[in-house]
Amino acid sequence: MTQGTVTTDWSGLPALFRRMTGDEKHEWAATSTLPALWTLYDKVLDVSPDRVDDPDRDRFLLSKGHGPMAFYAVLAAKGFLDPSTLDDWTEFGSPLGQHPDRVLVPGAEIGSGSLGHGLALGVGQALGLRAQGRTRPRVFVLVGDGELDEGSNHEAIALAGRLGLDRLTVVAIDNGSASHGWPGGMATRFAVEGWDTVSVDGRDQEALYRAFTEEHPGRPRAVVAVIRSEGVE
Amino acid sequence: MTAADFQGKTALALKATDVTMREAFVETVSAAMDTDPRIAVVTADISAGNFGAARARHPSRVINVGIREQAMIGVAGGLALTGLRPVAHSYTPFLIERPFEQIKLDLGHQDAGAVLVSIGGSYDDPVWGRTHQAPGDVALIDTLPGWTIHVPGHQDEVRELLTAALATDDCVYLRLSTRRNARAYPTGAGFTTVRSGSRGVVVAVGPTLDAVLAATSTVDVTVLYAATVRPFDHAGLRAAVGANPNVVLVEPYLQGTSAHEVATALADTPHRLLALGVRRDSEVRAYGTAEQHDVVHGLDPAGLAESIARFMR
């Protein structure tokens, strides 16, 4: 853990959210990705604002790109973004849009928004790091259960499983948003391709932390974070 | 369809015993990998076997993803984001058309570069039918900013263009074909003047040059050769046109793909343009040989001669 300047903790996230949404209620608490994002940036990822180009940093790829308020709030809480940039987000000239652009957002590893691109990019990053002998960095890719509909994910899932990319972890947020569902659960789609899989309560930060930090030698890991009914983004 | 299928067919389609563009590509990249640790190759089964020797020497930098073209481009983008120089390769429609959004987003939008190398041209092997033809490839890449597009007409040009492309971080599309000219021309910046004349300018792109030279052997025109079409040599064309603003553009892919570039080059002068290439008005539902398809599109020497004579009269 080599975090940079921590400006805010978990209790400060609602205020950061409000700077974007104006929401006085609890929209932030219903955001399905927030517990996973916070756990990663607060306790798991080896990243910091002064090392955004360090080749040995961990990578976090927000594949689905939708509902990026949680991502921006966490980046602001961890010092990647000045909180004032949240105030005029999505306006012309702001670096922050409804989908993140890695060229504009410090700490964003990919630009995303079109579903189904992040996982293959993450596989490429894991392969690129391995080819350069950088065995320490880990690559995390967050996908949604609706996003998993995109066939491109299944190309990447099969490939990562066969290649045994054990520095790769997928965070699969399952909030029941896929139109036709995933009978048997999302984890089965990864397991059949040789992934190590675990399903946890997506709001249980202790469980998420364990799932993100347990070893999975020789295999990529899929952490299915199940979010039930409190709300979706 | 396997790599072996293509290997056999491509070999049959070649008449001469000399090195094909694809062989020059494999040799050049494989040799460059020995000295440049940044270079990585990503294939989707097609030509994977051709990189066997390179893979034996550099197992972590030669990646065959199976028949997964979206993953191939996504992986190339990820490799580039870690500082490597990826080369992705397949048959034209599977490299450019099928994963086009990955090319747009996983490379360009990420500010990640790659060298995309296609084989098959527009219709190198028409026996495979429409599924294996991609005359719209250059036009598609042309919708994206920042791409360099090479259309070599000879295997020696492939070596030079590829070597230069591997040394950059740019987005580069290298379009290989079994069609080629009898000799190579310089590949540096700008068009090459192959012949000088007074009645107009014919721009021959890549493997169309020999047919253009045959078609214009008795016509008093300047012939420019272009192995690189993006960036387009506006100044070179403008200078060649001079006071005779009759321009014929001959491209081995979709007709008129570079017409807007000619318009830009000649914006300051009244001019006429005849754009020749693969016809847009109908799908050619025929098999046979590439030479027979040239006739359909008017890209054979006789067809070109007729079109150019009518335009220059």
> Phi/psi at B298 (nearest 5 deg)?
70, 25
Distance between CA atoms of B294 and B301, rounded to whole angstroms? 9
Q: Give the 3-state secondary structure of residue B234.
A: helix
CB contact under 8 A, B101 and A151: no
Please state the rounded mean pLDDT for residues B226-251.
Answer: 96
Distance between CA atoms of A232 and A8, rounded to whole angstroms? 24
Statement: residue B262 has pLDDT above 50: yes
Q: What is the mean pLDDT of chain B?
A: 94
Residues B158 and B14 in one domain: yes
pLDDT, position A8: 81
Give residue-wise pLDDT tens across range B170-214.
999 999 999 999 999 999 889 999 999 999 999 999 999 999 999
Which of these, A126, A109, A118, A111, lies nearest to A54 by C-alpha position? A109
Domain that holds residue B152: 3-175
Residues B145 and B35 in one domain: yes
pLDDT band at B4 (very low <50, low <70, confident <90, very high): very low
Residues B21 and B157 in one domain: yes
Nearest chain B Cα to A118, which residue?
B74
Could you tell me which residue, B6 or B28, shows the higher pLDDT?
B28
Q: Which residues pair with B116 in a beta bridge?
A: B88, B173
Pairing of strands B222-226, B192-195: antiparallel
Is residue B204 included in any domain, yes or no?
yes
Residues B70 and B102 in one domain: yes
Statement: residue B259 has pLDDT above 70: yes
Is residue B184 included in any domain, yes or no?
no
The tokens describing B85, both together, are: 């120089």
Sheet of B114-119, strand order? B62-64, B39-43, B85-91, B114-119, B171-175, B147-150, B228-230
pLDDT band at B243 (very low <50, low <70, confident <90, very high): confident
One CATH from 3.30.70.3000, 3.40.630.10, 3.40.50.970, 3.60.21.10 for A10-226: 3.40.50.970
Domain with B33 in it: what CATH number? 3.40.50.970
- The alpha carbon of A144 is separated from its chain's Cα centroid by a whole number of angstroms, namely 10
Distance between CA atoms of B217 and B199, rounded to whole angstroms? 13
pLDDT band at A23 (very low <50, low <70, confident <90, very high): low
Please state the rounded mean pLDDT for residues A180-205.
Answer: 96
pLDDT, position A66: 87
pLDDT, position A6: 55
Q: Give the 3-state secondary structure of residue A51.
A: helix
Give B95 to chain A, closest Cα distance, Å.
15
Residues B87 and B160 in one domain: yes
The residue out of B145, B175, B205 marking a domain boundary is: B175
Q: Which residues pair with A131 in a beta bridge?
A: none
CB contact under 8 A, A121 and B78: yes
Please state the rounded mean pLDDT for residues A103-131.
Answer: 98
The residue out of B130, B149, B175 marking a domain boundary is: B175
- B198 touches B140 (CB < 8 A): no
CB contact under 8 A, B75 and A159: yes
Q: Crossing angle of helices B69-81/A118-131, nearest 10°?
A: 50
pLDDT band at B14 (very low <50, low <70, confident <90, very high): very low
Is residue B255 included in any domain, yes or no?
yes
Q: What is the DSSP letter of B190?
A: S
H or E segment at A186?
helix A186-191
Nearest chain B Cα to A111, which residue?
B110
Q: What is the mean pLDDT of chain A?
A: 92
| Residue whose structure tokens are 């500010």 | B111
Alpha-helix runs per DSSP H in chain A: 13-21, 27-30, 34-39, 69-77, 118-131, 151-163, 186-191, 205-213
Is residue B46 included in any domain, yes or no?
yes
Distance between CA atoms of B180 and B69, rounded to whole angstroms? 27
pLDDT, position A231: 45
Percentage of the residues of chain A whose pLDDT score is greater than 90: 86
Percentage of the residues of chain B whose pLDDT score is greater than 70: 95
Residues B160 and B205 in one domain: no
Statement: residue B6 has pLDDT above 50: no
Q: Which amino acid does the sequence have at B253?
A: Y
Residues B148 and B237 in one domain: no
Residues of A in contact with B71 (CB under 8 A): 120, 123, 152, 155-156, 159
pLDDT, position A31: 85
CB contact under 8 A, B40 and A120: no
Q: What is the DSSP letter of A4?
A: -
What sign for the dihedral angle of Cα B228, B230, B231, B235? positive
Is residue B96 included in any domain, yes or no?
yes
Domain with B203 in it: what CATH number? 3.40.50.920
Among candidates A102, A117, A132 on the partner chain, residue whose Cβ is nearest the Cβ of B82: A132
Number of H helices, E strands in chain B: 13, 12
Pairing of strands B222-226, B201-205: parallel
User: Considering only A57-66, A188-197, B8-17, which range has the smallest mean pLDDT?
Assistant: B8-17
pLDDT, position B189: 84
Residues B40 and B153 in one domain: yes
Asked if the interface predicted TM-score (ipTM) of this complex is over 0.90, the answer is yes
**What are the domain boundaries of chain A?**
10-226
* Burial class for A188, CB neighbours closer than 10 Å (0-12, 13-18, 19+): middle
Residues B242 and B156 in one domain: no
* Residue B203: how many other CB atoms lie within 10 Å: 30
User: Per the structure, how many domains does chain B have?
Assistant: 2
pLDDT, position A157: 98
Please state the rounded mean pLDDT for residues B54-75.
Answer: 98
Give residue-wise pLDDT tens across range A132-170.
999 999 999 999 999 999 999 999 999 999 999 999 999
Q: Which amino acid does the sequence have at B184?
A: A
Please state the rounded mean pLDDT for residues B258-278.
Answer: 97
* Residue B86: how many other CB atoms lie within 10 Å: 30
Residues B136 and B240 in one domain: no
Q: Crossing angle of helices A118-131/A151-163, nearest 10°?
A: 20
Is residue B264 included in any domain, yes or no?
yes
Among candidates B61, B77, B101 on the partner chain, residue whose Cβ is nearest the Cβ of A121: B77
> Phi/psi at B290 (nearest 5 deg)?
-60, -35
- The total number of residues written for chain A in this structure: 233
pLDDT, position B1: 41
Q: Which residues pair with B118 in a beta bridge?
A: B90, B175
